[in-house]
Amino acid sequence: MVAEDELNMKKVLITGGSGMIGLKLSEMLLEKGYKVIWLSRERYIKAEIPRYRWDYRKGEIDIEALEQADVVVHLAGSNLGDDSWTRRKKQKIVESRVLTTKLLLDTYKSLNKKPDAFISASAVGYYGMHTDDNIYNEEDQPARNDFLSRTCKKWESATFQFQEELGVRTVALRTSFVISKESEAFKKMVLPTRFGLGAPMGSGKQYMSWIHLNDLCNLYIKSIEDDMMSGIYNAAAPQHTTNKELMRSIAKELKRPFIIPRIPSFLMKLIMGESAGMVLEGSRVSSQKAIDSGFKFQYPSIKEAIQVSLN
């Protein structure tokens, strides 16, 4: 009982706390008895979740937040699906992940205290925006000549400096497409289906690695609590599905037709530009390493994940 009380007194510092994952993770941590603080654009320490200011572009950060933290969960990063991938947007995507990590590392190097663990987001985009029959695991090499893959490689390289330079236990979770009623991306997939216009995107044969938001947050919590967890883990549900199967499952759950011809790839590329590759391509990703660590999925099947996210 004493050990549990000590665990629950831990303070977790979250970057990107106001995003979908950060909000849900904060809620779940508070329910378990953890203390939670955020690094944010504005300082507001009297908020329900105290917020401390940082600005990676100016190299500014509230040292007070880092000194309090027992564990850091690093979720900050410019949203991949917000805008077209212009040169400026690409730069923001990379810098908001790599430079924020570097600012945290450099600041900790100047302090006497270091966290017990550094847990960072990454993405299954590491394996590349392409479709093939391989089932990728954490030992596989990144794709070549692929913006998302290069970004993830730089992101993870910066992340594991915490382990190499500070000796801090470090975990990176390569995140899949997140299914949740709070997910804007999932809502965009569901909306046309509600009006009987559900259809596969592109060929529909591309695999979609996915995970329910609750499972993702529980995997973060396990990464915080399990001292044996270290290195890279795929945050992906064990059931593999194609885009066509996912869209059909949504239509079935909503009791809507699924007879519309697929949405042509060229149209998706016209609307989304290079970022359309995130939707039009995809391979299977193994969740075996997470399962072997003792993690149990609450929503292992796509049907269960969709049902709970539509109701």
Give dist(CA 277, CA 286) in Å, integer.
20
Mean pLDDT (the chain, rounded): 88
pLDDT, position 210: 93
| 214 SS3 class | helix
pLDDT at residue 82 in the model: 65
Rounded CA-CA distance 120/155 in Å is 9
Instruction: Name every residue whose Cβ is closer than 8 Å to that of residue 259 and which is 6 or more positions away in sequence.
Output: none
Strand 60-61 relative to strand 51-55, pairing: antiparallel
**Residue at 63: amino acid letter:** I
How much is the average pLDDT of 270-286? 67
Closest CA to 33 of 224, 275, 163, 280: 224
pLDDT tens for each residue of 207-236? 889 999 999 999 999 999 999 999 999 999
Token pair in block for residue 197: 């216009």
Q: What is the mean pLDDT of residues 140-157?
A: 89
What is the DSSP-derived secondary structure letter of residue 138? T
Question: Each residue of 23-45: b (16+ CB within 10 Å) or e?
Answer: bbbbebbeeeebbbbbbbeebee
Residue 129 has pLDDT above 90, yes or no: no
**Alpha helices per DSSP H over 16-131:** 20-31, 63-68, 87-109
Write down the pLDDT at residue 215: 98
For each of the domains in the chain, give its residue range(s) and CATH number, in order of start.
2-310 (3.40.50.720)
